[in-house]
Amino acid sequence: MYINGKATANNTYDAIVIGSGISGGWAAKELCEKGLKTLVLERGRMVRHIEDYVTASKHPWEFKHRGTLPQKIKEENPVVSRCYAFNEGTEHFFVKDTEHPYEQSKPFDWIRGYQVGGKSLLWARWTQRWSDLDFEANAKEGIAVDWPIRYKDIAPWYSYVERFVGISGNRDGLSVIPDGEFLPPMEMNCLEKHVKEQLAKHYDDRHLVISRTANLTTRHEGRGPCQYRSLCNRGCPFGGYFSSNSSTLPAAEKTGNLTIRPFSVAQSIIYDEASGKASGVRIVDGNTKESIEYFAKILFVNGSTLNSTLLLMNSTSSRFPNGMGNDCGELGHNLMDHNYNCKVQGEYNGFKDKYYSGRRPTGTYLARFRNFGRDKQKDFKRGYAYAAGGSRSAQTELSKTVIGEPLKTDLTHLGPWKFGFSGMGECLPYHENKVTLSKDKTDEWGMPLLNIDAEYKENEGAMTKDMVNTAMEMLDAMNFKNIEDKKQVRNIGLNIHEMGTARMGRDPKTSVLNGNNQVWGAKNVFVTDGACMTSSACQNPSLTYMALTARATDFAVGELKKMNI
């Protein structure tokens, strides 16, 4: 059931979920399937599966600019234009810079998708589990605070969400990325298989595996399979990859317990002093600017990391004068994003008679080996992985090719095979990397602008240097030629893995959330998106958000039945 006008006479539900992206969709599914009448508040427009994927099946010649964006749009949107996925076929799923402004004390590229489904329509779909190497790192190194959970606490929930999502991959037996519940893997091409063999020959700690990805290699849960078009971020009419729109929200809707309200900007959480709990959410209608209140027994905050924290900070009361859950003073602090400032590529003089079929929508993954096992680094803490892949394209760069017959020749003659490593490094949780609310500037819905003050620091710089040097050394050891450092300089935020700012912990004096993702002091409010993260690891984080959400909803409904919340 979808409503898009004024609030109904009865604005009370069993549960409210704020946000409909990867974690919000999971919260909606779990709460609805457990029998709770659930309202999902989404600040953006409705996007219906298949029906609203307006560019999904377009050919390049059907786009006015053949898929590229006009210079005017790039100039008007310098932040989002830096995102690899922002193009003529996807721009309608991205927030434009001028539509939702924010302040930057230091350069931070905040990439957003405001619609039903959020960035689940746009994500890269890589899904590695975390291990105790990640959950124990803060405690062992005395950095920030300790995670209140360990791998054993979340492992069954990883399995639970993997079985529904559909993750293709191998059981590789690597403790740094524990095995999960997998569909058949995609296949490496000939050069990737060669690199895998050569790495094993030269190193005993370098394991190249096919990426574990939320693309379906077989039909699963009524969806897919993947068609190997690699057009995922336009929306997939086949349901060949996981998104809220194709998966969790339809599952929630089947129960008859779901209500989605688009164009609903969450303004603040209403706190009831007498009960010591939240009673509901105050929204601003995105179109009419009308203020409306909705009420529920349980609230899940899943607006995506920075918007969730903005909402908590804007939810003040006599109990929480500095923002809901901010007794510790840590709300807004410890912002992280992964460090992807490494890209190295080399050419391979071989396999000239070979090519590959289709456009596989994922790559290969070289699992973490730094500061793991026997490896000890003195220059930096934590570690990194590599996204990697082999490919072969036209003989000459098109930009260097004239028109006519030479162009046709180049398009039908292949150049050498190339293999690239892209570093995926962990960022430490620094207290001084923070967000605050503007004291005098608001957006058109009356929400204070978010000021972001964050940067990569010395540890990330030393890690970047090692990522680049190590990638070049590996390619050299495997007899690649024309090895090139592609000199990545990416602002923090551009890797779209923002985490932290409302971290989990063991003590209300040092954390915003407890081990069940509950806000300290408001036990019926749960935060299970990236805001809850206590450290960042180097794995892609979305699978962990989904598992934490499924775990927290199970706990929340159990506590509700016991009348504890």
Residue 339 and residue 389: Cα distance in Å, rounded? 19
Q: In the CATH hierarchy, which fold is given to the domain comprising 1-166+242-333+433-444+498-565?
A: FAD/NAD(P)-binding domain (3.50.50)
Name residues whose C-beta falls within 8 Å of residue 470's C-beta, 6 or more positions apart in sequence.
Answer: none
| Under 8 Å between Cβ of 380 and 462 | yes
Residue 34: predicted pLDDT: 98
Q: Give the single-character DSSP code of 267.
A: E
The b-or-e profile of 177-196 (16+ CB within 10 A means b, else e) is bbebbbbebbebbbbbebbb
pLDDT of residue 393: 85
**Any residues with CB less than 8 A from the CB of 399 and at least 6 apart, and which?**
none
Given a contact cutoff of 8 angstroms between Cβ atoms, the answer to whether 529 and 500 are in contact is no
Sheet holding 264-272, edge to edge: 264-272, 277-285, 291-295
What is the SS3 assignment for 177-240?
CCCCCEECCCCCCHHHHHHHHHHHHHCCCCCEEECCECECCCCECCECCCCCCCCHHHCCCCCC
Please give the distance of CA 354 from its chain centroid, rounded to a whole number.
Answer: 35
* Cα(428)–Cα(381) distance, integer angstroms: 9
User: What are the extents of the domains in the chain?
Assistant: 1-166+242-333+433-444+498-565, 172-217+340-425+457-491
Q: Which pLDDT score is estimated for 401?
A: 60
Here the tokens at position 20 are 């409909």
Is residue 419 a contact partner of residue 475, using CB atoms and an 8 Å limit? yes
Compute the distance between CA of residue 420 and CA of residue 286 in angstroms, rounded to an integer. 44
Task: Give the model's pLDDT for residue 403.
Answer: 77
Q: For residues 215 and 372, is the Cβ–Cβ distance under 8 A?
A: no
Q: Per residue of the chain (565 residues), give pLDDT as tens.
A: 444 445 445 899 999 999 999 999 999 999 999 999 999 999 999 999 999 999 999 999 999 999 999 999 999 999 999 999 999 999 999 999 999 999 999 999 999 999 999 999 999 999 999 999 999 999 999 999 999 999 999 999 999 999 999 999 999 999 999 999 999 999 999 999 999 999 999 999 999 999 999 999 999 999 999 999 999 999 999 999 999 999 999 999 999 999 999 999 999 999 999 999 999 999 999 999 999 999 999 999 999 999 999 999 999 999 999 999 999 999 999 999 999 999 999 999 999 999 999 999 999 999 999 999 999 999 999 999 999 999 998 766 655 666 788 777 777 788 899 999 999 999 999 999 999 999 999 999 999 999 999 999 999 999 999 999 999 999 999 999 999 999 999 999 999 999 999 999 999 999 999 999 999 999 999 999 999 999 999 999 999 999 999 999 999 999 999 999 9
Q: d(Cα 501, Cα 460) in Å, to the nearest integer?
A: 19
pLDDT given for residue 409 in this prediction = 74
Give the tokens for residue 292: 């409306």
